[in-house]
Structure 1
């Protein structure tokens, strides 16, 4: 049976929705350079959101496979987060006032997300799947940092009307808006 632990899906969706706030709102008049830059920013974020919306392969009838499926998912998600961070590093200076500050905050947020995924994955290593108590404890410990993702401070991400206007015209930002 393929199932995603509810807390993992909730955390992933919360982060994706928070990151999508960078494309909220709308005004008029962005330049082509503004739209292209915003499109690149949203493309960077999509690397992560596309990875976390994929269902992990968790076989609840086989504890070893369930742990391995969750660990693989977390590894893939962590790699995708790093890909997003790396991609943002290649955007170049923002043509939009305040854009560089948004990128800095997004990178910080995504670094926290990656740390949570890596920490959760580490918790799953060396779990004794023959001991139901140890298995339950390991899963609880692994999912705990992921539950903290919904508490990330993303308040500064959607306050830039110029970025929002450019994002409203950028194809990748439209895709990102649909994922959040």
Structure 2
């Protein structure tokens, strides 16, 4: 047998073994899934679950913010002042809770998601400050001086009109994998229904 023929036979034998045709050993046991748990954050984790966490956190302040204050029964200026102050305080608390929940969603499964969440948190932080400023103006208003009270409310309203809420669905939707995940997230769909046009 020539050297070339021997090499061809060895190559054929190796090919057979590597492809499993020549394997004679038997592996006992039952096939099982990898026992390591799936990652709960970062690459490899579930983008739908992650997006659901982000949207759930934003719903915490969006719902109370969109619920207009009820002035029924507020028969005088002190009562109106209290209703408005309580309403603004509810939004501030909602923003604080949103930021806390947002901080607990874990690392994004998609590159760019963490940076977007950081930007959203920054907008929420500014939102909290701006609404706090409006509340301070309302709380300082003197209901015994109707003209001054009206001026203070107008000033507070002007502050509120300048506020920009985060558009998380648009920001995160710029990342295709997260955009698809948002469609499958119940919380993201609720957020979308509360903020039409976003």
- 2:79 is the counterpart of 1:71: no
What SS is found at the alignment partner of 1:55?
coil
Who is 1:165 aligned against? 180
1:55 maps onto 2:68 in alignment: yes
State the distance in 2 between where 1:87 and 1:150 align. Answer: 20
Match of 1:9 in 2: none
Matched, 1:101 2:115: yes
- TM-score of the aligned structures, taking structure 2 as reference length: 0.70
Give the one of 18, 28, 35 matched to 2:48: 35
Q: Please give the secondary structure, in 1, of the residue aligned with 2:140.
A: coil
1:132 pairs with 2:146: yes
**TM-score of the two chains, using structure 1 as the length reference:** 0.76
Q: How many residues in Structure 1 have an aligned counterpart in Structure 2?
A: 150
Task: Flag structure 1 segments of 5+ consecutive residues without an equivalent.
Answer: 1-30
**Structure 1 CA distance for aligned equivalents of residues 172 and 106 of structure 2:** 18
| Structure 2 residue 181 is the aligned partner of structure 1 residue 179 | no
Structure 1 or 2: more helix by fraction: 1
Report the CA distance between 1:57 and its aligned residue: 2.6
Answer yes or no: is the 8 Å Cα contact 1:39–1:173 preserved in 2.
Answer: yes
Query: CA RMSD, aligned part only?
Result: 2.1
Q: Could you say which structure has the larger radius of gyration?
A: 2
More displaced stretch, 66-75 vs 142-151: 142-151
